[in-house]
Structure 1
Amino acid sequence: MFPDADTARGYMEKRRWPDGPVCPACGEKERIYDKGKGFYRCNADLLVFTVRTGTIFERSKIGLHKWLYAMYLFVTARKGISSVQLAKQIGVTQKSAWFMLQRIREACGDDPTQLAGIIEMDEVYIGGKEDAKHENKKTKRGRGAVGKTPVIAARERGGRVKAEVVRSATGRKAVGFSYRHVQAGSTIHTDESTIYNRLNGLIFNHERINHSAGEYVRGSVTTNGIESVFAVMKRGLHGVYHHASPKHLSRYINEFTFRLNDANVKFHTLDRLNSLLDAAVGKRLTYERLTA
């Protein structure tokens, strides 16, 4: 469908501006002059812009057809695609492919929707095992979650997923996450972890499942759904990416939640690609900010 940069640009323009070019700075639609080759000038504020302006593609020298193919691979790979593999697929350097993937992940964040109904909530700790680290990198502060980065996530029964990287998995963080991402009156299912004690008596209904007692399902109460989400995340992080530093982990988590939500396999491939294109507008990630 997109054999060259011009066909890709035409597709992106039609998707972003179905009624014709719009100035990304002032929103002007009428006083737009076509300069040719994808460049437009707004005669209201004299801004010269392209379909890349104000998106994750801005100031990228990589052709838009390669961007579209990268996004296609991104939304169709269930566990993700590494920068090494992407570089080979589209013919760029590994460094450029890594920057492209981080820009695409930047577009996956800031989902404003809230979960409703029955919500399964749990936490997971991402990072290497202590006994697998080099001696000079061991924290030597015990086992379990030591040295790992906590992630709190929730899944609407039969619906969307929300996840956040947090500094520490505490009751305060669990309550804050619930207020941001769960509608009032919803029923939240959790395990017996004490960080969810504060959910009792709030604006949610709260049900627990006791894993330590060998209980995994009690009627409709279970957290198996959100644990399956964690399984996919871990397979991708460990099997495809091998390592994600705490600095960049939130973008990787956004990638997996986007793939489970708007890029779900139940949607047509072009619908998934269009969802990512829509999310790319209004986002910008410079290399300087990424590596700061």
Structure 2
Amino acid sequence: MDHPPRKRRLKGAPGRGTLEKDKPPVLGMIQRGGQVIINMLSNVKKATIEPFIKKHVAPQSQIYTDEYNIYDDLESWGFRHKTVCHGKGEYARDDDKDGIYEVHVNTMEGFWSLLRSWLRPHRGISQEALPLYLGFFEFLHNIGRRGKSLLQPLVNLLVTQQSGIGKEP
């Protein structure tokens, strides 16, 4: 018996997230084969992302993004920038014709998929708590350990953070 394919849609209002829609925007950057950094934003504007990117990415780094126009100024901010156009069905491109499709955002898209799967059992997280969940998942990814081997790095982080409370910067 043939059944039509199930339609999978994201719940909530369509479009870009905003705090007002209770769909807070989250900016993420990942170094291929390396560390990730994610942060909940107050809005999705160039003035909001520019200082965040400049703080965490070395000047002249190659940055790959989708075609969203918020990234249009990356080159004027001092970065090299290439995009893929999902709207045209493009998900990876081999610009230098060496057989390796280096222009893509699949690394970050894969990370978002893992984050959504990890958050799903929590069945809704308040905007106030979301940065804590994001920070913990970022830590889990960057430490690269699971299970019992995660315990010591987690204790070290907690002790380091606890010893820094109340001290002047």
TM-score (norm 2): 0.76
Question: Does the Cα contact within 8 Å between 1:192 and 1:210 map onto a contact in 2?
Answer: yes
Residue in 1 aligned with 2:104? 222
Kindly provide the CA deviation profile for residues 180-213 of structure 1, in whole angstroms up to 9, marking residues without a partner as x. Answer: 2111221110000011112122221111111111
In the other structure, the counterpart of 1:256 is 137
Please list, as runs of the form range in 1=range in 2, the aligned pairs for 1:1-292 lying within 5 A after superposition: 129-130=11-12, 143-144=14-15, 145=17, 146-219=21-94, 220-238=102-120, 240-265=121-146, 269-270=148-149, 272-284=150-162
SS of residue paired to 1:147: coil
Q: CA deviation at 1:129?
A: 2.9
**Paired residues of 1:191 and 1:209 also in contact (CA < 8 A):** yes
Residues 214, 163 of structure 1: alpha-carbon distance in 2 compared, 3 angstrom cutoff: same
- Counting aligned pairs with the same residue, the percent is 28
Tell me what 2:6 maps to: none
Asked whether the 8 Å contact 1:190–1:196 carries over to 2, the reply is yes
* Structure 1 residue 247 displacement after superposition: 0.5
DSSP 3-state at the match of 1:207: strand
Tell me the alpha carbon deviations over residues 63-82 of structure 1, each in whole angstroms, 9 at most, x when there is no partner: xxxxxxxxxxxxxxxxxxxx
Cα pair 1:263 1:273 within 8 Å, conserved: no
Please say if residues 22 and 127 of structure 2, whose CA atoms lie closer than 8 Å, have aligned partners that are also in contact: no
Structure 1 residue 269 displacement after superposition: 4.4
- What 5-or-longer segments of structure 2 have no aligned partner? 1-9, 95-101, 163-169
Tell me, yes or no, if the aligned pair for 1:154 and 1:226 is still in contact at 8 Å: yes
Tell me the distance in 2 between the aligned counterparts of 1:150 and 1:129. Answer: 15
2:36 maps to amino acid: V
Distance across 2 between alignment mates of 1:249 and 1:162: 14
- 1:40 equivalent in structure 2: none
Shift of 1:169: 1.3
Residue identity matched to 1:204: F
User: What value does the CA root-mean-square deviation take over the aligned residues?
Assistant: 1.9
- Aligned residue number for residue 3 of structure 2: none
Superposition deviation, residue 178 in structure 1: 0.9
User: Which residue of structure 2 aligns with residue 22 of structure 1?
Assistant: none
Deviation digits for residues 33-84 of structure 1 (CA, Å, limit 9, x no counterpart): xxxxxxxxxxxxxxxxxxxxxxxxxxxxxxxxxxxxxxxxxxxxxxxxxxxx
Contact 1:163 1:254 in 2 (8 A): yes
Q: Which amino acid aligns with 2:129?
A: H
Taking the aligned partners of 2:90 and 2:65, their CA distance within structure 1 comes to: 12
How many correspondences in the alignment?
Answer: 142
Preserved CA contact (<8 Å) 1:160 1:261: yes
- Which whole-Å CA distance do the structure 1 matches of 2:35 and 2:44 have between them? 22
| CA distance, structure 2, for counterparts of residue 191 and residue 161 of structure 1 | 17
Distance in 1 separating the partners of 2:52 and 2:134: 15
Structure with bigger gyration radius:
1
AA of the residue aligned to 2:69: T
Q: Which ranges of structure 1 fall in alignment gaps of 5 or more residues?
A: 1-127, 131-141, 285-292
- 1:122-144 deviation line (CA, Å, top 9, x unaligned): xxxxxx833xxxxxxxxxxx633
In 2, the alpha carbon distance for the partners of 1:230 and 1:173 equals 20
Equivalent residues of 1:216, 1:222 under 8 A apart: yes
Residues of 1 paired with 2:144 and 2:14: CA distance? 36
